[in-house]
Amino acid sequence: MKSFALACLAAVALIGAPERGAAEVIKLGTLAPEGSPWYDALRDLGEAWKSISGGRIELRIYPGGVVGDEPDMVRKMRIGQLQAAALTGAGLQKIAPEIQALMMPMMLRSDDELDYVRDRVGPQLEKLLEIQGFKVLNWGDAGWVRFFAQRPVLRPDDLKSLKLFVWEGDPAVAESWKHQGFHPVPLAATDIHTGLQSGLINAIPTTPLAALSFQWFGLAPHMTDIKWAPLVGATVISTRIWNALPDALKPQLLQAARDVGAQLRQQVRPLEDKAIATMVSHGLIVHAVPPEIAAVWEENARAGYPLIIGPVVPAAMVEEVERIRDEYRAAHATQ
């Protein structure tokens, strides 16, 4: 009887055990469409992880928002339907609102400033994300947000007559735009194209690379050439999934992710000018903003700070970003 019982237990164990050598499939969602630099970087990461793990880890990418908008991806990661996601700041701030401090309108002026600030607040932001159950694999950029519209926009008052896309699920942000006399329309990012087609919206704040990748510029062919804010991003994985991966592989997996992220940032930045040139050759009209009008935009942006600092982003992180930015500017004032 004892040998029979042991045989039964062995049979049950064999039936219930996963196939030896079966890959650990990590489902990753992203808004980035196939063929975009961000998608290509994720594909490269998947190939690197497959090589490092000897085929034991498979990164399965779901591009173009097929698994939903970024807030949907965050929710699906929390309940285990997704294991990872490549998110912009719009999705990341759903996890840690402090991320918004890096994207305050007209606070930063250049990639160098962004790098300097992010390198110093990045570890703190990563800890905040990890507390919420998300491990940062790498940081990325989507470029600098400009305004794309169906009519020319040179001054803030020109934008006030248009229906402006804002991310759905951020009522405080929408209210801050409205309080300043704008007409915000909350939508999922996956609905931008149909919103422009239907007239539900006729202006969007987005980056040139995104406008080109998603072909939004064809429906909003006027670009206001002012750097409103950097659109930062990060690739994150559920800490539960990360912790379950083989400890011996984690340093190599993380380094591969960081390398891909660094390469992507270096690739995206020169591509921004090329994206604008490509769109101009297909009908985009770029509206240059003179310094005196840029000052009006900055004044307008600053006027909105009290409406989002507190309700949207913690004041302490905004102050820290400003302090580090000023440190950078002071050190480079004579260069």
CA distance 6 to 1: 9
**pLDDT averaged over every residue in the chain:** 91
State how beta strands 222-238 and 134-149 pair.
antiparallel
Task: Note the pLDDT of residue 172.
Answer: 83
Listed residue (20, 189, 2, 161) closest to 90, CA to CA: 189
In this prediction the pTM is 0.88
Checking phi first, is residue 313 left (phi over 0); if not, alpha (psi -120 to 50) or beta? beta
Q: pLDDT (tens digit, 9 = 90+) per residue, 251-281?
A: 999 999 999 999 988 888 889 999 999 999 9
Those residues whose C-beta lies under 8 Å from the C-beta of residue 288, and which sit 6 or more positions away, are 225
CA distance 154 to 3: 84
Tokens matching residue 15? 């039936």
Q: Which H, E and C letters describe 75-109, residue by residue?
A: HHHHCCCCCEEEEEHHHHCCCCHHHHHHHCCCCCC
Task: Note the pLDDT of residue 335.
Answer: 58
Q: Are 143 and 207 in contact (CB under 8 A)?
A: yes
Domain locations in the chain?
22-331
Provide the 8-state DSSP code for 191: G
Q: pLDDT (tens digit, 9 = 90+) per residue, 57-82?
A: 999 999 999 999 999 999 999 999 99
Task: Note the pLDDT of residue 19.
Answer: 41
Question: What mean pLDDT do residues 137-148 have?
Answer: 94
CA distance 236 to 276: 29
pLDDT at position 334 over 70: no
Q: pLDDT (tens digit, 9 = 90+) per residue, 277-327?
A: 999 999 999 999 999 999 999 999 999 999 999 999 999 999 999 999 999
Q: Are 171 and 273 in contact (CB under 8 A)?
A: no
Question: What mean pLDDT do residues 232-252 have?
Answer: 96
Class of domain 22-331: alpha beta
pLDDT at position 8 over 60: no
CA distance 128 to 308: 20
Q: Are 300 and 81 in contact (CB under 8 A)?
A: no
pLDDT at position 15 over 80: no
CA distance 137 to 123: 12
pLDDT at position 17 over 90: no
